[in-house]
Structure 1
C-alpha cells in the first residue's frame, strides 16, 4: 500500500493493533507501526502523540459529545435521563470499523497495566465531564456525581454489549442505562 493512499489514521490503528496483539504493546515501536501501515514515522506523529493515543485518541472529543448530550436533554429530564441522552448522543462515534477492532483493542488494553490505568483515567474523565454538565443543569453536587458514575458504568456495559451483539448503539445504551437504574434501585 502506497504512502499516498488515503485513511492513514485508520491504517495506523490497524497496524498498531495487529502489532500489539502479535508482539505485545511494550515490544512494539512507533517505527514498526508506521512501517506496517506503509507510512513514515513522521506521518505517525502527525496523527498521534505517542503509541498510546492509537488506542485512546479522540477521547476528549467523546467527552465533549457526552456533555453536549446532557446539555441538550430536555429541561425537565431528571439526571439519569440526561445521562441516557448523553450515551445515545455518542452513537455516531461507534462505527462498524470500530466494532471490528473493538475487541482487539480491549484485549490489548486488558493485557497491559499502564493501558488499563490509562483507560480508567479516561473513564474517570468522562465521569467528571458528565458530573460537571449535570451540575450546570442545576443537579446538586452529590446527585450529579452519582448519576455520572452510574453513567460511566452504563457506558462501559453498553460498549461491551455493542461489541458482542452488533446491536444498534442507541438501543444498547438505553438498555444499559435501564439495567444500571434497576440495579441501583435494588440497593434500597
Structure 2
C-alpha cells in the first residue's frame, strides 16, 4: 500500500501500538509492524531505527515546543512560574490523541526497557527546558533545578491524567507546582547555608 511519507509513518505508529497492545512489546518485531502497516521491513527502518522508537516518536518536537512555550512566557516571573505558564500553554498538545497516549503508556509501563527509554526522554526534556530558562537569563544551576523539578511535575500530571484523574490537566499542573512549593518550603535549610 503506497502513501505519502507522513501517511506511511502514521500507519507504522498505529500498527506498532496495536501490536504492542495485543502481543506485548517483547513479542512484536519490526517485521510484524511493517507487515501490519502493509509496508516492507526496510521501509520501517527508513522511519525508525528500532521498534522502541515507534513509541517515542515526536520527542524532538515536544522538546522544541516546550522550549518555545518557555520563551513565550512574559519576562519577570520566577523559573517555576515560567514553567507552569509554559506547561499550561502546552495543554492542547499534551491532550491531543489522549486515547492513543493512554494505550502507549500502558505498553511502556509493562516493559522495563521502555520505562528506561522514557527516563532518557525525560532527561532530554530537562536539558531543553533548562537551556530555554538559561536563555531567559536564569543562572545555569537554578535553571537545571527548575527544569528537573518542573519536568517531574509535568510527568506526574501526565501520568495522573492518563490514568483518568478526575481533575483536568491544568488543575493537575497547578496542584503539582503547589505541592513542589510546599515540599521546598517544608524542608530545613541545607547545613552551612
* TM > 0.5: yes
Q: Give the Cα separation in 2 of the matches to 1:81 and 1:95.
A: 21
Q: CA RMSD in A?
A: 2.5
1:17 corresponds in structure 2 to: 17
Aligned to 1:118: 117
The answer to whether the 8 A contact 1:13-1:54 is kept is yes
Return the TM-score normalized by structure 2.
Answer: 0.82
Q: Deviations over 1:39-90 (max 9, x none)?
A: 3334433432321111111111111111111111111111001111231233
| Deviation readout 1:88-138 (Å, 9 max, x if unpaired) | 2332423452x1122321222222222111111110111111112112222
Distance 2:7 2:179 in 1: 38
Structure 2's unaligned 5+ residue stretches are 189-193
Larger Rg: 2
TM-score by length of 1: 0.84
Report the 3-state secondary structure (helix = DSSP H, G, I; strand = E; otherwise coil) of the residue aligned with 1:56: coil
Q: CA 1:49–1:95 in structure 2 vs 1: closer, same or farther (change >3 Å)?
A: farther
Give 1:47's aligned residue.
47
> Over residues 20-41 of structure 1, what are the superposed CA-to-partner deviations in whole Å (9 max), with x where a residue is unaligned?
2333322211111122233333
Cα 1:157/1:9, change in 2 over 3 Å: same
For these two proteins, the number of residue pairs brought into alignment is 186
Give yes or no for the alignment of 1:83 onto 2:83: yes
| C-alpha distance in structure 2 between counterparts of 1:136 and 1:167, whole Å | 33
Instruction: Please give the alpha-carbon distance, in whole angstroms, between the structure 2 residues aligned to 1:131 and 1:77.
Output: 15
1:162 aligns with 2:161: yes
Matched, 1:65 2:34: no
